[in-house]
Each structure stands twice: as C-alpha cells, then as structure tokens.
Amino acid sequence: MVHAPVTPQHAPRPARPAGAWLSAAVALGCSAWLAGAAAHTPDLPAPALDAPAPLTPAGVLAPNAVSRAAPASSAAARAAVAPVPAQRVQLRGDAATPALTAYWFLPREGATPRALPVVVALHGCGGLLAQGARRDGTTAATSTVAGTTDVSALLQQRYREYAHWLTERGYAVLMPDSFSARGKPHGICAEPIDNRAIDERTRRADALAALRWVAQQPAVDASRIVLLGWSNGAQAVLATVDASRPWPAGTPPVERAVAFYPGCKRAVQQHSFRLRSPLLLMIGGADDWTPATRCAMLQSAVQARQPGARFRLEIYPGAYHGFDGTSELHRRTDVPAAAMRKSQSVTVGGDAVARVAALAQLDSWLASPDP
C-alpha cells in the first residue's frame, strides 16, 4: 500500500453538522484498515445495489454497517439518506460540444455563511442516471421535496449519496451528464475503449465547461474548486489536470483533484504528462479492470518529471473496482477485453474496509490546507 502521513489540519474547513466524528472516523478507518488488510476477504457480503448504505457520518464510523445494512424500505430510512434537492441546469461548451444537463446541489440553507467551495463530480462509464431514468429527464420513480419533484431521483444511488455526503460538509456539488445529450444515457462500458466516440478529450471539454459554469454562480468561491471522478470520469480528471495540455482562457483553476480507480494506461503512455493540481488517486490493489500497477507507474513518472508534484496514491489491498460502493462483488462479462486483459470478465463491487479508509482519506484531503 502506498501511503503518506495525513496532513495536519490547520485551517477552518467548510461547515458541517456538529459533532467531532471526523477524528474518530480517521482513527477507526486507519485501525480497521491495518487490522483488516492482512485478513481481507474479497467476497465480503454487501447489500444489493438497490439498498446501499448511506455515505453519512454514521456510515463512516460503522464499517460493519456497509456489509450488514438492512434495505432502506421505510420512509424514515429514505429520508435519512436523501440529499438536498438538486436543480437541473444546462452547461454550454464550445461549438463542437452539445448543451449538457447537469445537476446542481447546494448545502441546506444556513449551512455555511461564506462563499461556497465546489466539487465538480464526473460519473463513470455507466453514466450518471439511474436505470429507471429516461433521456427526456423523467423517471418512473419520483421524489418529492417541499411539494416539488426532486430531480436528484434521476441519478444513480451512488451519486446521490456522494452529493449528500459533500453538501453536509459545506460543498456545492455539480454533476454534469456527459452521456445523455449524446444519446447514451446509460453508459459506454460495453464499447471498446479505442472505438468510443465519447473519449477523454470529450469528457475533458465537458469538465472545463462545468468549471466555467460554477465560477459564474453567486456565492461560490471559484478559488476552491475540487474536480472529482470515478473510473471513466477519473480518467477525465487526469486529462483535465494534465499540465501538458493548454488551459482555456476564462476557465478557473482546479484547486485539487480526486480520482477513484481511473484507467492510468494512457496517461502513463503520454510521456509529457504532468500535474496542474494536487491529486489524490485511490484504487484497489486487486482491481482487474483498471490495474493499480499502472497508476503506481504514473505516480513514479510524474514525480520524476515534477519533483515537487503533490501526487498522493492510495492502493487498498484486496479491493476491486468500485470498492467505495456497496454492491456485492460480482463479475461483469460485458466489458471488452483490453491489450493487457485478455478476458472480458472483470470483478466489481464494494469493500467495507477500503470504503471506510477511502472516505476518511477523502475527508482529510478535502480539509487539508496544503494537500
């Protein structure tokens, strides 16, 4: 496991609910990780996809709740994990980029008195929308908040939970949908990587459009923008913060970046790749879809080119692709084989111990004045 000491927290962080749960979460996450890494069992039970445990302080503090949570079937349980309502907005890029739908979350009124930091969050290859959502922005399942339909019900549970987790900490959150406007609302995972029309250049352009949009919003601190992504979206994070690429005029900088289990192959092959922003990259040591070894190679290459680069790599032994989720481990057979992975079968699913450690690490990274 590649691990560096957690940076001490010396500056105020975004507002959050009362209670000193963070220090307990970090301590518990670290101790649970150290104790569980050696005895890790990859088939750790977890709830089904339709009943994930919430990304809340309680969930962080109780790692067993990830694998033993009961289905959130009651109204009270659903309310406990419901994020603040989302607003559906339109992002306009350049002439070659269609207008994208994005989902904008703000902390609850009164949660913070100062200009808001922002997280721009980029979805994975499975898309942003839940399976029940339709391209026209409607869904068979609706959520009503204060008498109005909450459009966050259109999103996959993972992304709704992260929006809730981040807004609780005083962040505004923008989640652009890169796929629906291009006719692929439910993803491109089954498409061969080299044949995808929606590639990392496309998604980088979307990320830049999202950065420009958030910088124009009132009550936003454009100097505190975090770019975060998962899998295919994490590859877009790498492409966006690549300092060898030009930065468009009028686009605010990314203060720090977070990448969950990206495919690092292309960045490794790009010998000019350098970091424009501090980066936290988290990946499972057993990931057979986007191998951790390539990301370790990328870290070494970047640090050789940029001795002062802030590139933190966390590899969680025994964890697979999607370890921060709550689905049971299962094999996907719809993923095209790659050059270094002859099989079309990959393992995906949540890992209770790695999830706790990663959320504590993410919390610390976001809070640190000098990541």
CATH number of the domain enclosing 292:
3.40.50.1820
Q: Is 11 part of a structural domain of the chain? A: no
pLDDT in tens, 201-256: 999 999 999 999 999 999 899 999 999 999 999 999 999 999 999 999 999 999 99
Q: What is the mean pLDDT of the chain?
A: 79
Backbone angles phi, psi at 320, to 5 degrees: -110, 180
Beta bridge partners of 100: 91
- Between CA 258 and CA 229 the distance in angstroms is 6
Residue type, 364: S
Tell me which residue range forms the domain holding 186. 21-367
- Between CA 101 and CA 97 the distance in angstroms is 12
Helix (H) or strand (E) holding 269: helix 265-269
pLDDT value for 149: 67
**Inter-CA distances, 265 with 146, 307, 328, Å:** 46, 21, 27
The answer to whether residues 279 and 311 touch, using CB atoms and an 8 Å cutoff, is yes
Low-confidence ranges of the chain (pLDDT < 50): 1, 4-81, 135-148, 339-340
For the chain, how many structural domains are there in total?
1
Q: Is 204 part of a structural domain of the chain? A: yes
Q: Which of 272, 262, 266 is nearest to 229 (CA)?
A: 262
Q: Is 15 part of a structural domain of the chain? A: no
Q: Is 6 part of a structural domain of the chain? A: no
pLDDT in tens, 248-294: 999 999 999 999 999 999 999 999 999 999 999 999 999 999 999 99
Q: Which two tokens stand for residue 210?
A: 């999202």
Whats the size of the chain, residue-wise? Answer: 371
pLDDT value for 96: 74
Count of other CB atoms within 10 angstroms of residue 85:
20
pLDDT value for 82: 52
pLDDT value for 303: 97
Q: Is 113 part of a structural domain of the chain? A: yes
Residue 110 falls in which region: left (phi positive, over 0), alpha (psi -120 to 50) or beta: left
Q: Is 124 part of a structural domain of the chain? A: yes
Give 299's DSSP letter: H
pLDDT value for 193: 84
